[in-house]
Each structure stands twice: as C-alpha cells, then as structure tokens.
C-alpha cells in the first residue's frame, strides 16, 4: 500500500512538473532538393529539378527531433512552420510523422524570391501570428543555401535572444531560464539565458528518429494550415523579391584550377624533385636544430 501510495505521488509530481512547464516550441523548417538526386545542367548552370525528390533540410531534422524531445521531457506543444510553395506541405507532413503536433505553411506568390532577410522577416511574422513561442529551433543552416542567416534573422525580427550552433540543451528551469552548450571550433560555450529564445542546432545535438508507418498514416489525416501574405501583419516591401537586397544571379561549379603531379621512379630522386617543387612554390624549410632553438617542434 505504502509503495503504491509513493508511486502514485511520484507519477503525480512528474505529471504536474510537465504540465507546469508546458513549453510552446516552434520549429522552422525548409524544404530542399535531395542532393543525392540533384544534377546540374552544364549548359545553363542551373539545377535540373525535373523528377528531383524534395526532403526536409537535413539540419532541420535535428531541430524537429530536439523539439520533440523537449516536449517529451517538459510537456507542451510543438509546431512546425515553413515558407514556400504549396508542395512544401509534403515536408510539413513528414514533420507531423516525426512527432510535430501542428503545422503552418506561409505560401504566397508574394513570398517568392525571398533572400535570407525577407525569409527571416516573413517567418517571424508567422511566429508572431502564432503568439510567439518559448523556444524556437532551426537547423544551423540550409543544405542548399548554406548561409546560416535565417535563424538569427528570425530572432532579430522577434526581438528575442538567439544562440547559434547549439550542441546541447542542458536544462530548462521553472523560472524560465535555459542553459545550452554552443559549439565552437575546438570547444564549446556554456550559455544561460531567459526564455523565449531562438536556437539553431548542430547535428551533434541528437540522432533524429525515423517516422514509423503508424505515425506516417496519422500524419496523413492532420490538417496543414496555410497562410498567405494577407493573413500576416507585414509590410509588403519587406517580403519576397521586393524585400530581398540579395539575389542569386548564377549557380555554377567552380572550375578546377590545380592539377596533381605524380612523382614516379626512384624514391630518392622523386622525393628530391618533390622538395624542390614545394620550395619553388614558396614553402620554407627549417632545419631540425633551428626548430629546437626556436622552441618549436
């Protein structure tokens, strides 16, 4: 009886803790072409999109997974939002099958041609319409653009703190503080801030789960809400091509400027020839004793 009483209370406390924290999490995702199936037209230097499979930007799958894990740990709701043409619904449905509760698509011809600035502004407008969030998560960058600018841009437009390249969410406290680890070259920063916060995450943060068949079937039945430009409180001059100071003029594969050289034959003469070549290329040799003298090794 005593054990049963204790167990019931432990579960109650755990349940209550989740309910109390009840995070609202928004994940911003982007649909990108699957690079394994993308080919370039060598004449026009443009992507051949015919028959190309579209996927969720792989970095965003870590954002979704982290959002789902936070919901599982602290309770609450997870929403996915994206901007793009109607076919992005497919990726939002994939997000639903990964554990997202609700999805919103910002879709309008007026949004077309947006650069990172206009995209950040538009996504922030969508998030504002949703009443904001406790935590907004994005992948560190999109696989196709590779800029890493949209996350911070959304954060700036919302006027909330943003931390990029997060590798771990250490804890979230009841007083609304969050502690995260931010990946640096050769180390990490441990940062503490107040919610709401925007995070961009790196792939070290988790291992995204796969959707189950059951989850895929349930996702098919869920509604995906679409909002056009009239649904949002926005300045029309700040969206789409009009609101984009940068434009992609050309995509091309850079020509190879160097070629390798194979040294063949006798080892001694090959090595001597190699050393001569790199010396001619401007690389200086330092004798071992000189290195020792200078304290380098």
Instruction: Give the binding site for another protein (CB under 8 A).
Output: 34, 36-37, 50-53, 209-214, 216-217, 220
Q: Identify whether the C-beta of residue 233 lies closer than 8 Å to the C-beta of residue 112.
A: no
Cβ 89 to another protein, closest distance in Å? 13
E strand or H helix that includes residue 138 = strand 135-139
Q: How far is the CB of 67 from another protein (least distance, A)?
A: 18
Closer to another protein by CB, 55 or 133: give it: 55
Give the bridge partners for 225, in sequence order. Answer: 104
- Smallest CA-to-CA distance from 192 within 163, 167, 160 is with 163
Pick the closer one to another protein by CB: 214 or 288: 214
Q: Which two tokens stand for residue 144?
A: 């196709």
Q: Smallest distance from the beta carbon of 214 to another protein, in angstroms?
A: 5
Please tell me the number of Cα atoms within 13 Å of 295 on its side-chain side.
Answer: 0
| Nearest residue (CB) to another protein, 223 versus 233 | 223
Q: Are 167 and 103 in contact (CB under 8 A)?
A: no
Q: What is the distance between the alpha carbons of residues 119 and 155, in angstroms, rounded to a whole number?
A: 12
Smallest gap from Cβ 212 to another protein, in A, equals 5
Instruction: Judge whether 71 and 78 are in contact, CB under 8 Å.
Output: yes
Of 51 and 131, the one with the shorter C-beta distance to another protein is 51
How far apart CA 148 and CA 121 sit, in angstroms, is 15
Beta bridge partners of 201: 139, 166
56 CB neighbour count, 10 Å cutoff: 25
What is the closest distance, in whole angstroms, from the C-beta atom of residue 29 to another protein in the complex? Answer: 18
Question: Whole-angstrom Cα distance, residue 243 to residue 123?
Answer: 13
Q: Is the Cβ of residue 89 or residue 156 nearer to another protein in the bound state? A: 89
β 177-184/162-172 pair status:
antiparallel
Answer whether 280's CB lies under 8 Å from 270's CB: no
Q: Decide whether 212 or 279 has the Cβ nearer to another protein.
A: 212
Q: What are phi and psi of 23, to 5 degrees?
A: -75, 145
Which residue, 100 or 169, is less far from another protein as judged by CB?
100
- C-alpha to C-alpha distance for 193 and 44, rounded to whole angstroms: 48
Q: How far is the CB of 28 from another protein (least distance, A)?
A: 23
192 vs 220, beta carbon nearer another protein: 220
Cα separation, 191 vs 195, whole angstroms: 13
Distance of closest approach, residue 257 Cβ to another protein, in angstroms: 28
What's the closest the beta carbon of residue 243 comes to another protein, in angstroms?
A: 33
3-state secondary structure of 224: strand
């Amino acid at each position: 009886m005593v054990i049963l009483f204790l167990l019931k209370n432990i579960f109650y406390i755990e349940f209550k803790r989740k309910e109390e924290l009840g995070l609202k999490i928004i994940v911003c995702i982007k649909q990108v072409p699957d690079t394994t199936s993308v080919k370039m037209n060598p004449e026009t230097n443009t992507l051949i999109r015919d028959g190309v499979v579209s996927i969720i930007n792989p970095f965003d799958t870590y954002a979704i997974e982290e959002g789902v894990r936070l919901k599982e740990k602290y309770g609450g709701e997870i929403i996915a939002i994206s901007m793009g043409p109607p076919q992005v619904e497919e990726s939002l449905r994939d997000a639903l099958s990964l554990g997202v509760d609700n999805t919103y698509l910002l879709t309008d011809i007026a949004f077309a041609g947006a650069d990172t600035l206009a995209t950040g502004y538009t996504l922030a407008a969508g998030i504002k319409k949703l009443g904001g969030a406790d935590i907004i998560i994005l992948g560190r960058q999109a696989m196709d653009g590779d800029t890493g600018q949209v996350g911070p841009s959304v954060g700036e437009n919302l006027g909330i703190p943003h931390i990029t390249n997060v590798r771990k969410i250490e804890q979230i406290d009841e007083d609304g503080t969050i502690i995260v680890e931010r990946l640096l070259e050769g180390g990490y920063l441990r940062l503490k801030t107040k919610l709401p916060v925007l995070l961009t995450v790196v792939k070290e943060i988790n291992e995204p789960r796969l959707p189950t068949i059951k989850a895929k079937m349930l996702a098919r039945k869920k509604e995906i809400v679409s909002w056009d430009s009239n649904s949002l409180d926005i300045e029309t001059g700040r969206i789409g091509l009009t609101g984009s100071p940068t434009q992609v003029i050309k995509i091309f594969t850079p020509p190879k400027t160097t070629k390798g050289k194979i040294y063949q034959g006798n080892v001694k003469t090959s090595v001597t020839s190699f050393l001569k070549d790199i010396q001619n290329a401007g690389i200086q040799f330092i004798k071992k004793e000189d290195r020792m003298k200078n304290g380098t090794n």
